Structure formats: C-alpha cells, structure tokens
Amino acid sequence: MRTNGQTLRQAARSDIPETAEAGSINPAEKKPEDWSDRRAAPRVEARELSEIIMDTREIPVTCLIRNISRTGALIESASANVSDRFILTNHARKTRVICRVAWRKEKMMGVHFLTAPRPIK
C-alpha cells in the first residue's frame, strides 16, 4: 500500500515479498535449454539427416535433427533462408511432417509439428 511521500515504484516494490534468493535466475533470463519443463512432450537426442521442402524452392535444404519429440524438433539447417512453414522429410525414420518455425537463430531453429508424421511413399 502506498504511504505518504512514497513513489509508485517504491510502493510497488514494497508489495513484493522478499523470498527470492540473491543470485536467483529471473525466468525472463532463462536459456532455451532450461525450458524443457515447459514442453508438452519430452525431447529425445537425435542426429538424423533430413530435408526441408519448401514451396519457394525446387531443391530441398539439407538439415540435421538435433532432438525430437512427438510435438516438435530442434533442427540445424544448411541454410538460414528457410520459410516459416515447410515439410520436414526425416530419412532416418522414413517420415514426413508439416512444420511451423517457433524460433530461429542463424541456422538453428525450433519447429512445431502441425501434422502427425506420415510414412514416406
């Protein structure tokens, strides 16, 4: 509660309980590898050679699946020029799945699967 002579910032800080330890990590400062507890499905380490197929290119982009779950994957692409939606062909599992890019940094990207994996015919 704001008392006489207190600024709004001071009043706001006085309402916050002092339970945080010194040096504790702010959730906004967490790195992506710390977010595993937020994922809908656990990720499994993988090194699976795959291809990204886009409408805008005739030739697929080679990529490597670094980890995978039933809902998404971490992909390292041979090119940073990948569209936001594409088909991921996983040669190791002999499947295809439509993906949406959730985040990207240079040639690394996290993708969300929009469909269930389908066998390659």
Q: Please, what are the domains in the chain?
A: 40-119 (2.40.10.220)
Spatial separation of the C-alpha atoms in residues 2 and 99, rounded to whole Å = 50
Spatial separation of the C-alpha atoms in residues 73 and 90, rounded to whole Å = 11
- For the chain, the distance separating the N- and C-terminal CA atoms, rounded to the nearest angstrom, is 66
Reported pTM: 0.67
7-21 per-position pLDDT tens digit = 443 443 444 334 434
Q: What sign for the dihedral angle of Cα 73, 74, 77, 83? A: positive
How many helices and strands (H and E) does the chain possess? 1, 7
3-state SS class at 58: coil
39-50 per-position pLDDT tens digit = 678 889 999 999
3-state SS class at 53: strand
14-23, 86-95, 96-105: lowest mean pLDDT where? 14-23
